[in-house]
Amino acid sequence: MVISYKKLWKLLIDKDMKKHDLREAAQLSSSTVAKLTHGENVSTAVPLKICSALQCDIADIMEVVPDGSPASDE
C-alpha cells in the first residue's frame, strides 16, 4: 500500500493554485513539495499544514492505494 497525493493536485487545479502557491500558503519547503510530487514519505505534520491552509479534510488531499495501481504510478 502506498499514499497517493493525486487528490491534492486535483484540488489545487480546482482552486486555481500552483505548487508554489501551496508552498507559501502551507509554509512548506520546496523539498517537501518535491517529496509530495514524487509520492515520497513526509511527516504527518505536512498533510495537516496543507489541510489547514486549504481548509479541507485529509481525505480531500490523499488516499491509500494498493501497490501497482494507476494512482500509485506518479
**8-41 per-position pLDDT tens digit:** 999 999 999 999 999 999 999 999 999 999 989 9
Of 74 and 17, the structure prediction assigns the larger pLDDT to 17
pTM of the model: 0.85
**CA–CA gap between residue 1 and residue 63 (Å, rounded):** 10
How sure is the predictor about 67, in pLDDT bands with cuts at 50, 70 and 90? confident
**CA–CA gap between residue 5 and residue 37 (Å, rounded):** 8
| All structural domains of the chain | 2-72 (1.10.260.40)
Cβ contacts of 65-72, under 8 Å, gap ≥ 24: 65/1, 65/2, 65/3, 65/4, 66/1, 66/2, 67/1, 67/2, 71/4, 71/6, 72/2, 72/4, 72/39
Q: Is the model's pLDDT at 7 over the cut of 90? A: yes
